[in-house]
Structure 1
């Protein structure tokens, strides 16, 4: 994970740095493909970085906080803290949020990283309704400032990687991603 710089010398206003987190550990994850595509389609004035450390996080244990915080957890905490906003793309497992993503969120529980941090949920499946509701509730409880005015959903469920790549490259979907990030950026700037 590369650090964020607060300014882009080409712009008069600060560059917005957005962290995109996929809740899936699958190698051919459609949610991970969506977060990478968001990074590739970020509009001017925004930088989206896809977090790829979910599978390296140890299981959350409150006894391991403070000076004992594992380095992998510190990377996530620092990335969320330094980001201007967070985008999460999450699959649904057994009508719930995948354990790896919930574990990542748990590492933020006693930190200020999530407090008032703008966040937006995006979706790679129209069927993840239970996980969407559960994740939104978790993030509200964590005090994220959840942006819910517009939703980005690109149906990728069941598609093979070449199909996913083709769908995400379609002009309408690229425009939808840029528009969603732009709307989220306006939400971040209005806070």
Structure 2
């Protein structure tokens, strides 16, 4: 069975996106896990140069991502953008290669009618640049999330939303390459070589 690792863009103990994440994990057919992004230091290329030992939380994140067969990013949208904690985690993964060709789904949930479309689009673009395999059929924007969640249970309780999440997780699991099956075609993305070249250029300054 494919192993799924989920990364959350919210550090709140009780958040709507946390409820979405937990519900999605329960609907995935395979072992699942999460990792703490709040312990990561701010991204600094000086801490991660050639021959350097990455900080412990960074090494733990990379190990967890490398061990997963697929990734799920669940995030709110702040000021029409990606929350810093999640962008910081992705920055630590840009040049290390754990996301290359890994199936990944992006789910954003918002109290507003847009469903976090700005953050969703930005995350997909970042993942494409990192040469992750963004599984479009597994990505979702969930609007008006508030009444769809039971705050006490910390789970999604809205029937149609749960059904949609189940479909998304089915598509994500199906995108994991198997010996007898070709992988799902990813969204257009850059090559690993281009990622490494761009990462070096962008962090040189």
| Distance change >3 Å, CA 93–CA 103, structure 1 → 2 | same
Query: How many Å apart are 1:56 and its aligned residue?
Result: 0.8
Q: 1:124-170 CA distances to partner (integer Å, 9 max, x unpaired)?
A: 22431111111111111111110113433444644597347486134
- 1:87 partner SS: strand
Q: What is the CA–CA distance in structure 1 between the aligned matches of 2:121 and 2:144, rounded to whole Å? A: 19
Q: 1:17-74 CA distances to partner (integer Å, 9 max, x unpaired)?
A: 011111111222211221111222223xx222232x1111111111212543111111
Q: What is the CA–CA distance in structure 2 between the aligned matches of 1:110 and 1:140, rounded to whole Å? A: 13
What is the match of residue 104 of structure 2?
119
What is the match of residue 186 of structure 2?
none
- 1:36 partner SS: helix
Aligned ranges for residues 1-191 of structure 1 at < 5 Å? 15-43=1-29, 46-51=30-35, 53-65=36-48, 66-125=51-110, 126-155=114-143, 157-158=145-146, 162-163=150-151, 165=153, 168-189=156-177, 190-191=182-183
- 1:16 partner SS: coil
Which residues of structure 1 form unaligned runs of 5+?
1-14
- 1:55 partner SS: coil
Q: CA RMSD in A?
A: 2.3
Which residues of structure 2 form unaligned runs of 5+?
184-205
Question: Does the 8 Å CA contact 2:14/2:151 hold for their aligned counterparts?
Answer: no
Question: Does the 8 Å CA contact 1:167/1:173 hold for their aligned counterparts?
Answer: no
Q: What is the CA–CA distance in structure 1 between the aligned matches of 2:154 and 2:56, rounded to whole Å? A: 36
Q: What is the CA–CA distance in structure 1 between the aligned matches of 2:141 and 2:66, rounded to whole Å? A: 26
Q: What is the CA–CA distance in structure 1 between the aligned matches of 2:172 and 2:42, rounded to whole Å? A: 31
What is the match of residue 188 of structure 2?
none
| Distance change >3 Å, CA 153–CA 47, structure 1 → 2 | farther
Task: State the TM-score, normalized to the length of structure 2.
Answer: 0.75
Q: What is the CA–CA distance in structure 2 between the aligned matches of 1:162 and 1:122, rounded to whole Å? A: 18
Task: State the TM-score, normalized to the length of structure 1.
Answer: 0.80
What is the match of residue 3 of structure 1?
none
